[in-house]
């Protein structure tokens, strides 16, 4: 029986939502990961340090007792973001980073940035104070094919920003294409990328396998096989630019299985197992710790977690649906399926 022992991993891209959903989903992440970058796309969004601090308190109240977990908060950038509030929030330990949602690119992005020039003063301040910019990297013009939106963002927004603000550090969140892999490599040290389990495991056929599969729909949407293979090579390469970010994105079942279904895959209950499956298939378990536990903290300038955790190869059932009192259920990735790895007890 194979086993793997690594420093406790972190999740550099998480959606916890709020209220009853938050109470139910936080424990899945907190039990496995030491820290998580918490995305600010609530309704209303987390746009200033005061609301971020109280959101952090609500997250902490949902962490099971005896579990050590640190949420790292992010600021949702709008056309009107106040650079001085962001800088103060960062200096005061509330904000770890700020998130660029191009307006209407994804879930709850309607208050996002309508044109990148609008936030140039904010980007200037972020570069000066060492605040990383996290991006949902898709352009939104209606005429652009949905499968080309990441590439469009790289050419029209990302590269110009990298050139204009040489001091700015950027994370391209949830990269989905070989062009994403390429641009991250070309700005080594200044740019990092998270990669989700679903983009490593599936290509776009999964959305249409024998019928329409709403639980395979997320943004950026799954891409062609050649892109999945590029992502697998990047994740398992050990290169410091690529790190774990699940993009676990819970939506109630009836809002996904709908005429106009929400985007997002709820992976938190099985995320580590999903990544381990990929690394085992690629013969790269020796590089798993770099991806899961070392590269992310190094990029953010934080120490890796001290604690060690062990996973053993053992067929296990993990992915139960999550009941949210009076609201419905959330269907996880690997719903009803067995996974190949289990976290060793006490680890």
Instruction: Provide the 10 A C-beta neighbour count for residue 186.
Output: 12
Q: Kindly state whether residue 139 participates in binding ligand NCD, applying the rule CB under 6 A.
A: no
Instruction: Provide the 10 A C-beta neighbour count for residue 79.
Output: 14
3-state secondary structure of 48: coil
Binding residue (CB under 6 A) for ligand NCD from 219, 234, 271, 309 = 219
Q: Kindly state whether residue 151 participates in binding ligand NCD, applying the rule CB under 6 A.
A: no
Binding residue (CB under 6 A) for ligand NCD from 10, 11, 150, 247 = 247
φ, ψ of residue 243 in degrees (nearest 5): -145, 170
Taking CB within 5 to 8 Å according to partner kind, which of ligand NCD, Zn ion, none is near residue 107?
Answer: ligand NCD
Closest contact distance (angstroms) between CB of 249 and ligand NCD is 4
85 is catalytic: no
The nearer residue to Zn ion, 262 or 284, going by C-beta atoms, is 262
What's the token pair of residue 293? Answer: 């536990």
φ, ψ of residue 294 in degrees (nearest 5): -115, -45
What's the token pair of residue 24? Answer: 């139910």
Contact 272, 289 (CB under 8 A): no
Catalytic residue selected from 247, 286, 335, 340: 247
Integer angstrom CA distances of residue 343 from 31, 109, 235, 332: 10, 35, 21, 18
φ, ψ of residue 159 in degrees (nearest 5): -65, -45
Closest contact distance (angstroms) between CB of 134 and Zn ion is 9
The nearer residue to ligand NCD, 15 or 228, going by C-beta atoms, is 15
Binding residue (CB under 5 A) for Zn ion from 247, 265, 272, 319 = 247
Binding residue (CB under 6 A) for ligand NCD from 94, 218, 276, 309 = 218
Q: Kindly state whether residue 96 participates in binding Zn ion, applying the rule CB under 5 A.
A: no
Contact 38, 53 (CB under 8 A): no
Q: Kindly state whether residue 251 participates in binding Zn ion, applying the rule CB under 5 A.
A: no
Taking CB within 5 to 8 Å according to partner kind, which of ligand NCD, Zn ion, none is near residue 227?
Answer: none
Q: Kindly state whether residue 263 participates in binding ligand NCD, applying the rule CB under 6 A.
A: yes
3-state secondary structure of 17: coil
Residues 6+ apart with CB under 8 A from 277: 201, 339, 340, 341
Binding site residues, ligand NCD, CB under 6 A: 15, 41, 106-107, 136, 218-219, 247, 249, 263-264
Binding site residues, Zn ion, CB under 5 A: 106, 136, 247
- The catalytic site residues sit at 247
């Amino acid at each position: 029986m194979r086993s793997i022992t690594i420093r406790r991993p972190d999740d550099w891209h998480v959606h916890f939502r709020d209220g009853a959903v938050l109470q139910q989903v936080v424990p899945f992440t907190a039990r496995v990961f030491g820290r998580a970058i918490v995305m600010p796309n609530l309704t209303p969004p987390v746009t200033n340090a005061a609301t971020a601090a109280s959101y952090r308190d609500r997250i902490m109240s949902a962490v099971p007792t005896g579990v050590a977990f640190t949420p790292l908060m992010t600021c949702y950038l709008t056309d009107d973001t106040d650079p001085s509030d962001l800088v103060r929030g960062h200096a005061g330990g509330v904000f770890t980073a700020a998130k660029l949602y191009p307006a209407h690119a994804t879930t709850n992005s309607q208050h996002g940035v309508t044109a990148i020039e609008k936030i140039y003063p904010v980007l200037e301040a972020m570069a000066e104070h060492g605040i990383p910019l996290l991006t949902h990297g898709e352009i939104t013009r209606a005429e652009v094919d949905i499968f080309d939106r990441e590439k469009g963002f790289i050419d029209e927004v990302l590269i110009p920003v990298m050139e204009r603000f040489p001091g700015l550090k950027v994370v391209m969140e949830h990269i989905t294409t070989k062009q994403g892999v390429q641009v991250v490599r070309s700005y080594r040290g200044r740019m990092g990328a998270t990669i989700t389990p679903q983009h490593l495991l599936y290509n776009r056929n999964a959305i249409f396998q024998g019928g329409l599969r709403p639980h395979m729909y997320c943004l950026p949407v799954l891409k062609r096989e050649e892109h999945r293979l590029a992502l697998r090579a990047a994740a398992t390469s050990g290169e410091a630019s690529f790190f774990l970010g699940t993009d676990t994105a819970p939506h109630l079942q009836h809002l996904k299985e709908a005429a106009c279904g929400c985007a997002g895959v709820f992976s938190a209950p099985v995320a580590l197992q999903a990544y381990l499956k990929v690394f085992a298939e690629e013969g790269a378990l020796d590089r798993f710790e770099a991806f899961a536990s070392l590269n992310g903290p190094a990029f953010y300038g934080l120490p890796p977690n001290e604690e060690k955790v062990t996973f053993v190869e053992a067929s296990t059932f993990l992915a139960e649906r999550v009941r949210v009192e009076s609201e419905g259920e959330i269907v996880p990735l690997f719903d009803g399926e067995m996974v190949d790895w289990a976290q060793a007890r006490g680890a």
